[in-house]
Amino acid sequence: MKHTYLILAAAACFGLSSQVAMADGINAEKLYKSKCKMCHKVDGKKFGPGFKQMRSDPAELKEILTNGSKNKKMKSFSKKLNEEQIDAMVAFIIEAQH
């Protein structure tokens, strides 16, 4: 958990670009393209919301990525991504919204 806050704080304080949003060698942009892009376009809506429409609360994003959405439209990624990957994805999504 402490690791998550450090990533988010670094991204927020230093305004890291999505290209640089890497934690523990995890390229979150590449991960997003392979796991999320098919439903969540960066610049608009596909099946799910695009970046600008996604939740901006890091805790809520992590909860949805880990356990899926309450409406069950998005499934859990806890078996596809480890905690560090989920944390990197949260930081990447938050940064991409700005």
Judge residue 41's burial from the number of C-beta atoms within 10 Å of its C-beta, 0-12 exposed, 13-18 middle, 19 or more buried.
middle
SS3 23: strand
pLDDT per residue as tens, the chain (98 positions): 555 444 444 444 434 443 334 556 899 989 988 998 878 876 655 566 665 667 778 999 999 999 998 888 889 999 999 999 999 999 988 887 77
CATH number at residue 82: 1.10.760.10
Which domain range does residue 41 map to? 2-96
- Quote the number of domains for the chain: 1
Give, for 26, the enclosing helix (H) or strand (E). Answer: strand 26-27
